[in-house]
Structure 1
Amino acid sequence: MGFYEFFSGGGMARIGLGSGWPCLFANDFDPNKATAYRAFFGPSQELRGDSITDLETSDLPGHADLAWASFPCQDLSLAGNYAGLKGERSGLFWAFWRLMQGLRVEGRAPRMIVLENVRGMITSHQGRDFAAVCESLAQEGYRYAPLLVDAQLFLPQSRPRLFVVAFGPDARPDSSMVGNGPTAPWHPNSFAYAYDRLSSKAKAAWLWLTPSRPTAKPGKLSDLIEDTPTGVRWHTAFETKRILDLMSPLHLEKVKKAKEEGSRRVGTVYKRTRPQDDGTKAQRAEVRFDEVAGCLRTPAGGSSRQIIMVVEDNKVRTRLLSPREAARLMGLPESYPLPQRYNDAYHLIGDGVAVPVVSWLARTVIEPCLHLKSRKVAA
């Protein structure tokens, strides 16, 4: 089963799919990500560093069973001023889709397509952007199953992501996996923003897939944290006090309770801008001690960098999350080589897709659907 990996980043989708999936073609324009990709997979020829806008179907070898596309998310969030699919970065989806249309004309359309993006894609422009993607899939003859999957089911990181799994004519999910309507936790109410805008053809192509929930335990954040981290240092007492000074009484109370427990507690802190009672906005530090990290993001600014807080023996220590700890929170193997510069490593990881989520989708949804035709022929 060969696949194409568009917007490949460091190859996390490829790692999740596993060795049973030969990569026929991979593409990412970011040189740092391409370097990390080659460092792990070797100097293979399948990775192209061209912009996707410069690619043609002639650049895509063979006939892939699957095309995976984790297209840029910046324009679907505040970071991109919510420009949506008209934005310069998230709008690259249309360059990808041009290639899929071209493959269909040539008789080489992938049997399945998986799109992955942030949760904000669901409600971008009141659902119009998501609806446009759904209409595009239906027009090219794909049935599709949107799913909201949180990496927290697999890893100690809160990371809800939208996955749209699309099925060509000869890749059909088993009827036992298809429901009659929305089912928690895969189908949030926000799907209605797009669904209600769809044409009758696109609504008929929408599948309410109900995959089985993963059974493996996601583990604990404290099990992934290093006492002597590489690439970061513990904050000074003054730096830790500055973080505590940014906390509201609610979050200071969390720290106080962690001290009173006496045992070692590990939490994560994000700095966020919050509205105040007087109408102004101020930076606040918010902590959680539930053994789950906040969602990893790219280091666009200081507020996007996650901070580790360790409370032990009535003392509080803080520091940045290390690159290796971030990699563990995405399910990357310990052997995965990370860029030396902190921002490069954090950007690579924060832009990626959680490896165990890909593996679960592959084993639970993708592979059974692709095998269905061959089983019927054999029977």
Structure 2
Amino acid sequence: MSSDSVHLYLNDALKVYSRKDLACALEIDTSTLGRWLVKENEPRPYVVDRLKQILLPFHARREPGEFKFIDLFAGIGGLRIAFESIGGECVFTSEWDSYAQRTYLANFGDTHALHGDITQVDVSDIPDHDVLLAGFPCQPFSIAGVSKKNSLNRAHGFACDAQGTLFFDVARIIKEKRPRAFLLENVKNLQSHDKGRTFSVIKHTLQEELGYQIHTRIIDGQHFVPQHRERIAIVGFREPTPFSWDALELPEKGSFRMGEVLHKEDGSEPYLEWDGSRFFDHEKGCVNEKYILSTKLWSYLKAYKEKHTAKGNGFGFGLIGPDDVSRTLSARYYKDGSEILIKRGPKNPRRLTPRECARLMGLPDTYRIPVSDTRAYKQFGNSVVMPAFKEVARVMKPYISQN
């Protein structure tokens, strides 16, 4: 095999693995890998076979799905898992963050390219699809809304009202590709953002400009995991349908407790080859010490809470045990973990491990975490409770399947 071919394999692998992880998988040191990459030295022939094995899951053939969907602002793929569970086939992905891309590729591989900045993607390069998924960020809209434009006899439309926001890119794709349905996901406060004007523009765009029938619902992830996490789901259909949120099957809140996601320290914690001992020390049977708060940080958090309690507000840490439900996991969790701290009796509490965060988002233990703890906390804090949107996908399916 030619030298260029070997380097193509190496560069493909580096889209998924860090240099350190790839070097470990190839059983070499990072300096050797560095010399290979700059072509100072050539890899031995066996390296090609090893690289093929590493990349095999990412080049796997997939059976055609019952319907096709695209995954925009994909994050780490929570919505994709939900829609694959009902027979969907992902045919296009866009995610701008390089670390999220690494996690996404480590879990899905892919038969299609992973695109970055959606604002730079031409709609003609997006394949036809039945469903559009988008967990788009909520950015400030630049005008007060359609009603104001009407009062001033000025032209309006999503190309004007939403220009400069990432919602505009969702709208332009819907306009050109006309999927049968879409699911947009965002924070609960999208409805009240900018005194409701943002949501007004979104609804007007989807209903009046694009002609879709829409349904909105706030769903608390607490129905499916031990975490209070409210998100808004905006479901739209191109044709009139009898879709109803009444079809949702939501387990009673409180049915799930933290004990179901915490590492088991009674000897029953499963060994995950892809985690190794990164989060849990299987020899000692306990969570790694690095997740335990230092005495200095714990003292600071207690003093901070006492100060604000005296002022009559609720700022401070959240201390929970196996029988509790957690607060919302946020993207800032990496800073001090204060919103969700795990009790350890008289000892200092600890943070959740990234594996526990994955479980708290409803992701299976087969889900890979190829990035640093800091990046993982940010990614899970920005993700969706997957089982909640799996249920949304289930009730949407009768109206999107080609059959």
Fold-level similarity (TM above 0.5): yes
**TM-score, normalised with respect to structure 1:** 0.69
Equivalent residue for 1:5, pick from 71, 75, 89: 71
What letter corresponds to residue 160 of structure 1 in structure 2? E
Of residues 70, 75, 83, the one that matches 2:135 is: 70
1:276 aligns with 2:350: no
**Partner secondary structure for residue 199 of structure 2:** helix
Q: Structure 2 CA distance, aligned partners of 1:144 and 1:94?
A: 17
Q: Distance in 2 between the 1:224 and 1:54 partners? A: 39
Work out the percentage of aligned pairs sharing the same amino acid: 27
TM normalised by structure 2 equals 0.66
Report the secondary structure of 2:167's partner residue. helix
Cα contact 1:113–1:166 (8 A) shared by 2:
yes
Please state how far the C-alpha of 1:282 moved relative to its aligned partner. 10
Match of 1:224 among 261, 270, 276: 261
Residue 286 (structure 1) shift: 4.4
CA drift of 1:212 comes to: 3.3
Give the CA deviation at 1:302.
3.2
Alpha-carbon distance, 1:322 to partner: 1.2
Asked if 1:159 is matched to 2:229, the reply is yes
Asked whether 1:95 is paired with 2:169, we answer yes
The CA deviation string for residues 215-244 of structure 1, in whole angstroms up to 9 with x for no partner, is 377421123122533594312444433333
Change (3 A) 1:300 1:291: closer
* Aligned ranges 1:160-239 → 2 under 5 Å: 160-169=230-239, 172-174=241-243, 177=244, 209-215=245-251, 218-226=255-263, 227=265, 228-229=286-287, 232-239=290-297
The secondary structure found in structure 1 opposite 2:305 is coil
Measured after TM superposition, the shift of residue 38 of structure 1 is: 0.8
Aligned alpha-carbon RMSD (Å): 3.2
Asked if the contact 2:337/2:351 (under 8 Å) is kept, the reply is: no
| 3-state SS in 2 of match to 1:113 | strand
Check the 8 A contact 2:248/2:392 in 1, yes or no.
no
Residue of structure 2 aligned with 1:56, choices 103, 118, 122: 122
Q: Distance in 1 between matches of 2:111 and 2:320?
A: 42
Aligned to 1:219, what secondary structure does the other structure show?
coil
Query: What is the aligned residue count?
Result: 295
The equivalent residue for 2:145 is none
Whether 1:324 and 2:324 are equivalent positions in the alignment is: no
Q: 2:189 is matched by which residue type in structure 1?
A: G
Is residue 26 of structure 1 aligned with residue 93 of structure 2? yes
Gaps of 5+ in 1: 77-85, 104-108, 178-208, 250-272, 375-379
For residues 370 and 338 of structure 2, the distance between their equivalents in structure 1, rounded to whole angstroms, comes to 17
Question: Does the CA contact (< 8 Å) of 1:16 and 1:359 recur in 2?
Answer: yes
Query: 1:204 maps to which residue?
Result: none
Matched position secondary structure for 1:22: strand
CA contact (8 A) 1:309 1:319 kept: yes
Shift, 1:71, TM fit: 0.4
Structure 1 counterpart of 2:200, one-letter code: A
2: CA distance, partners of 1:160 / 1:25: 27
Matches within 5 A, 1:230-269: 232-248=290-306
2:181 matched to which residue of 1? 112
